[in-house]
Chains A and B, each alone.
Chain A
Amino acid sequence: MEKPEKLIIDGKRLDGRAPEEMRPLKIEAGVLKRADGSAYVELGENKVLAAVYGPREMHPRHLQRPDTAVLRCRYNMAPFSVEERKRPGPDRRSVEISKVTRQALEPVLFLELYPRSVIDIFIEVLQADAGTRTAGITAAAVALADAGIPMRDLVSSVAVGKIDDMIVLDLTKEEDQWGTTDMPVAIVPRKKLVSLLQMDGNLTEEEFKRALDLAFRGCEQIYQAQRQALKEKYAIKPEGE
């Protein structure tokens, strides 16, 4: 795709959204039978699957912590998730995202309840359209809750950015590519804590404040969808009656 002349025309973005509007969001909990907990998130063209295993015995043993559980996280993009085939396996980018995802989720978990064990999170990006790390965190938080792991709160995550000198919510691939700034944010909604904040590009102090405020509002929508997904999985439906 060629670079478009303008990313915002008459106050509407390329896909017809308003600047402060999120892409359509779908969250489903408990989609994988053999995982202890799982979740599937669709955010626009993003399709992300998260699976949680554990707490289980930690192998290799020397990585065990005698007083607490260890959280391990793997973010992986499927080779077919992007237009040009991605070479499979971990690369610099996915190792970094795995690490920031782990750090975004760690503060909400009661890891000290499960000494010597490990909780594994696997995030698989099936289709990517910018903002996969935030969709991954959103999915992983639901998967952790679905696995019955005690948590202080969920974690909700969304990206904000600047395109054509305007602060917008939830960038698409085109906006990420041609825009000036991309800023993924993860939030612990109840206490309004920021557990992930990265930025590619630049913002003035004023713009940053507006962007962060917009991210908080976006995360609130995501948080509601996460809660809804968890409640729906166990909605009362007796069989054969």
Chain B
Amino acid sequence: MLYVQNREMVVPGQLIAEDGYRVHEGAFREGKFVYASVVGLADLREREVRVIPLQGCYVPKRGDVVVGIVVDSHYSGWILDLASPYAGNLFVSDLLRRKVDLVREDISQYLSMGDVVVANVKDVDERMRVQLEASEPGMGKVEGGKMVELSPMKIPRVVGRKGSMLNTLERIGECKLKVGQNGRIMIWGRNQQMINAVVEALLMIEREAHISGLTDRVRQMLEKIKSKGGK
């Protein structure tokens, strides 16, 4: 039995469902009752309950792509700030994809403080120590581009259903985006005006993430700016 409607706003402790529902993030079970644990929109799908949070911090999860900033280095790697309560650790060998002889090679040539790195979360242990790797193509140190920081809870909206929002942004904005699950987004493009337009669009997504019809509004806004730029 359900006590709220799909997409209804819930607050912590609010009763959502009773009996036989599977519980995902943003909700918890007590006995046979399911309650919300965060402020958000109840997302109900056949016998599954989750709450889409509207606010919150990023917690690293294995497999996430993140955009980190180098804040410290150690003997065999670097510490990356992930815009999260937990910093990430990146070993040289996980950056270069080969064995590195630390005695012969000076690793400071690869990354220094303040560098931006796109990486993959390789592992997170129970004490939330985060292991990163930057081995896939398109990962590693970032050259050029613009970085935007949004609330990490709004990232699913930036990507959209099956990447629809991301496609719209890249196609109309004529730029390339790299979306980190930790809320940081890298933008590369030739046309400065369109880059700025995409930044505006991203900020709009953050503000209006919980309102439906967002992809269309973003498309309209970008096309308007684009047509003005063409004149």
Contact = CB atoms under 8 A, between A and B. Distances in A.
Contact of B38 (A57, A145, A190, A231): A145
Interface residues of B, number: 31
B51 to A, nearest CB: 10
B211 A55 contact: no
Interface string A117-154: 10000000000000000000000000001111111111
Contact of A150 (B30, B38, B85, B126): B38
Given A115-B127, A150-B37, A231-B11, A36 B57 contact: yes
B12 A150 contact: yes
Contact of A148 (B55, B87, B128): B55
Point out which of A56, A108, A189, A234 has the most chain B C-beta atoms below 10 A from its C-beta.
A234
Contact of A234 (B9, B13, B85, B217): B9
A218 interface: no
Given A145-B38, A147-B56, A153 B12 contact: yes
A238 B213 CA distance: 10
Interface string B38-69: 11000000000000011111010000000000
Contacts of A145: 11-12, 38-39
A230 interface: yes
A154 B35 CA distance: 12
A80 interface: no
A234 B37 contact: no
Contact of A152 (B26, B35, B128): B35
Interface string A45-68: 000000000111100000000110
A108 B12 CA distance: 10
A148 B210 contact: no
Q: Give chain B's interface secondary structure class.
A: loop
Nearest to B213: A238
Contacts of B56: 147-149
Contacts of A227: 11, 14
A53 B16 CA distance: 28
Interface string B15-38: 100000000001010100001011
Contact of B207 (A146, A231, A239): A239
A117 B15 CA distance: 29
Interface size class of A (residues with CB under 8 A): 35 or more
Interface string A194-235: 000000000000000000000000000000001100110010
Contacts of B86: 57, 116-117
Nearest to A57: B85
Given A54-B85, A57-B87, A239-B208, A152 B127 contact: no
A88 B13 CA distance: 37
Nearest to B28: A152
B118 interface: no
A47 B77 CA distance: 50
A40 interface: no
Nearest to A151: B12
Interface in A56-96: 56-57, 66-67
A184 interface: no
B153 interface: yes
Contacts of B59: 113-114
A147 B55 contact: yes
Contacts of B35: 152-153, 190
B127 A148 contact: no
A98 B154 CA distance: 33
Interface of B: 9, 11-15, 26, 28, 30, 35, 37-39, 53-57, 59, 85-87, 126-128, 153, 207-208, 210-211, 217
18 contacts: A56-B57, A57-B86, A57-B87, A110-B28, A116-B86, A117-B128, A145-B38, A147-B56, A148-B54, A148-B56, A148-B57, A150-B26, A151-B38, A152-B37, A153-B12, A154-B11, A226-B11, A236-B211
